[in-house]
């Protein structure tokens, strides 16, 4: 019987492999207790959320191992499930030595794991307002500074023409008559509502206090003029541009590149997408003119944190590795050129940045900026609550901007219940 032969072959190969496997258990079990007798650490691990920098980080880790003999194991996962993976690992004592802490809300959840980094040498070099602090402890070093806003085609748009609501709407109308799409959002939760919803928050005197009040139910968005105007802006976008729900990120960037759309609401990270195309125009980044705003909005997209639940020796080794990245020439080179980050540190020079990143850096250096508020939103409220509300708004033309803001109030209340 042919079948029996097949099965026999499977059986034998399985046995062989089993035997081969026996030897793998020996060296793979050191994920955790990786200190040897003398308390010397041989291996640390890094688990981080920005897939885009995985490969250069692995290269850095190799160089570090050659230099110091300490093995740095870089773990990976897709961009969207980092936090739940981290949670599962921390809960089962399988946590990494170094991890990403995306923002202060995550720092709040991870509080009991995060080691205070105030004593690090690089702590003093962090750019103003870019340190991740929680309850007076420094719990994260910034990956880099990022900004978003209206990314525009310099051949089509003059930023002088867009300074407030009226001129914004006028611009969209003009483009509409020319048969060009004035502004394009896209369907992904952060690109649809997450980032653009920042402005009315960021323009409050103290956005954190405002969000706290909102969470407590002591105030509403609807009673503030910035939000009402934001509703008007969104209405204008819905009326004069293509439906963002029909557009994904790839299409948004493609349409921008071939001139079918004049502006997209994106961040400087879009440069890596633009690099895949041959651009025949220059791009710029301008502030979103809500309430006449003329300041760039900048913030930190991720932070390096150290797992304080490890042995002191492993914590020290993790800190050494971070110091090395932030204080060595090769580290600086990688951060700027390979990670393509706008450094969040004053002692790191950034040359040769792409034009969008350069605008972010200039704005940040001038200090004339508004902060990212979405880092302080309740965790995951953007995909879970704000995006569905925005989808309703874009699907239902009869919903006014005012009703949209009321809807946002409703879902916000539901999310923090």
Partner 1 sequence: MSKHHNKLWYLVFVLPLFIIFATVVLIPFFIGIFYSFFEWDGFSANPMVYVGLDNYIELIDDGRFLNSAWLTLEFTILSLVLVNVLGLGFALIVTSALKSANFARTMFFMPNLIGGLILGYIWQFIFSDGFRVIGELTGYENVFRNWLTDTDLAMYALVIVFSWQMAGYMMIIYIAGIQSIPGEVMEAAEIDGANYFQRLKNVVLPLLMPALTISLFLTLSFSFKIYDVNLSLTAGGPANSTELLAMHIYNEIFGYNNYGYGQAKAIIFFIVIAAITLTQVYMTKKREVEM
Partner 2 sequence: MRLFKKYFKEILLVITALVFLSPVYIMIVNSFKSRSELYENVLALPETLTFEHYIRAMDRMNFGLAFFNSLVITIISVFIIVILSSMTAWMLARKDNTLSRVIFMTFIATMLIPFQTIMMPLIQFMDQIMSTTGLPMLNTRSGLIFMHVGFNASLAVFLYHGFVKSIPISLEESAEIDGASKFTVFWRIIFPILKPITVTVIILNVIQIWNDYLLPSLVLTDQSLRTIPLATFYFFGEFTIQWNQAMAGLVLTIIPVVIFYALAQKHIIKGIGEGAVK
Query: Of residues 42, 65, 73, 323, which one binds partner 2 by CB under 8 A?
Result: 73
Stretch that binds partner 1, among 2-10, 30-38, 146-154, 390-398 (CB under 8 A): 390-398
185 vs 370, beta carbon nearer partner 1: 185
215 binds, among partner 2, partner 1, none (CB under 5 to 8 A by kind): none
Dist CA 257 CA 279 (whole Å): 6
Q: Is 209 in the site for partner 2 (CB under 8 A)?
A: no
Least CB distance from residue 385 to partner 1, whole Å? 9
Residues 6+ apart with CB under 8 A from 128: 367
Rounded-to-integer distance, Cα 356 and Cα 282, Å: 10
By the rule CB under 8 A, 88 interacts with partner 2: yes
57 binds, among partner 1, partner 2, none (CB under 5 to 8 A by kind): none
**CB neighbours (10 Å) of residue 342?**
29
Phi, psi of 227 (to 5 degrees): -70, -40
Helix, strand counts (H, E) of the chain: 17, 12
Lookup: tokens for 304: 């390096």
Beta carbon nearer to partner 1, 27 or 78? 78
Return the number of the residue (4 or 78) whose C-beta is nearest partner 1. 78
**What string of DSSP letters covers 287-332?**
---GGG--SEEEEES-EEEEBTTS-HHHHHHHHHHHHHHHHSHHHH
**Pick from 8, 39, 67, 93: which binds partner 2 (CB under 8 A)?**
93
**Between β-strands 283-286 and 98-101, what pairing exists: parallel, antiparallel or unpaired?**
unpaired
Contact assessment for residue 305 and residue 98, using Cβ atoms and an 8 Å cutoff: yes
Binding site for partner 2 (CB under 8 A): 1-4, 6-7, 10-11, 13-14, 17-18, 20-21, 24-25, 28-29, 31, 45, 47, 49-52, 54-55, 58, 73-81, 85, 87-89, 91-94, 249-251, 253-254, 257, 269-270, 272-273, 276-278
Binding site for partner 1 (CB under 8 A): 78, 83-84, 87, 90-91, 109-113, 189, 243, 245-246, 248, 309, 379-380, 383-384, 387-389, 391-392, 395, 414-415
């Amino acid at each position: 019987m042919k079948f029996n032969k097949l099965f026999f072959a499977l059986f034998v190969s399985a046995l062989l492999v089993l035997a081969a496997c026996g030897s793998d258990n020996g060296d793979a079990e050191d994920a955790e207790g990786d200190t040897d007798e003398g308390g010397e650490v041989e291996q640390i691990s890094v688990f981080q959320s920005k897939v885009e920098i995985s490969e250069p980080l692995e290269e850095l880790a190799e160089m570090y191992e050659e230099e110091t003999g300490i093995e740095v194991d870089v773990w990976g996962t897709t961009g969207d499930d980092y936090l739940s993976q981290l949670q599962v690992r921390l809960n089962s004592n399988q946590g990494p030595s170094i991890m990403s802490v995306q923002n202060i809300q995550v720092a709040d959840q991870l509080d009991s794991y995060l080691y205070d980094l105030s004593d690090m040498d690089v702590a003093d070099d962090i750019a103003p307002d870019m340190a991740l602090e929680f309850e007076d402890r420094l719990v994260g070093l910034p990956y880099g500074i990022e900004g978003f806003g209206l990314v525009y085609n310099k051949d089509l748009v003059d930023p002088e023409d867009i300074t407030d609501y009226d001129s914004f709407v006028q611009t969209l109308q003009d483009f509409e008559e020319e048969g060009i799409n004035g502004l394009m959002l896209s369907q992904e939760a952060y690109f649809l509502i997450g980032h653009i919803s920042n402005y009315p928050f960021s323009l409050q005197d103290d956005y954190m206090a405002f969000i706290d009040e909102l969470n407590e139910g002591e105030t509403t968005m609807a009673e503030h003029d910035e939000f009402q105007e934001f509703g008007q802006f969104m209405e204008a976008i819905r009326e004069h541009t293509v439906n963002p729900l029909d557009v994904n990120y790839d299409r948004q960037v493609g349409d921008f590149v071939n001139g079918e759309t004049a502006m997209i609401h994106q961040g400087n990270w879009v440069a890596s997408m633009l690099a895949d195309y041959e651009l025949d125009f220059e791009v710029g980044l301008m502030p979103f003119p809500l309430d006449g705003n003329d300041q760039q909005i900048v913030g930190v997209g991720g932070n390096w944190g150290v797992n304080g639940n490890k042995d002191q020796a492993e914590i020290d080794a993790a800190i050494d590795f971070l110091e090395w990245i932030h204080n060595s020439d090769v580290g600086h080179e990688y951060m700027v050129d390979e990670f393509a980050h706008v450094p969040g540190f004053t002692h790191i020079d950034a040359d040769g940045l792409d034009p969008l990143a350069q605008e972010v850096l200039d704005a940040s250096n001038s200090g004339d900026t508004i902060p990212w508020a979405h880092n302080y939103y309740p965790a995951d409220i953007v995909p879970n609550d704000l995006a569905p509300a925005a989808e309703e708004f874009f699907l239902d033309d009869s919903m006014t901007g005012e009703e949209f803001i009321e809807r946002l109030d409703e879902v916000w209340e539901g999310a923090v219940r």
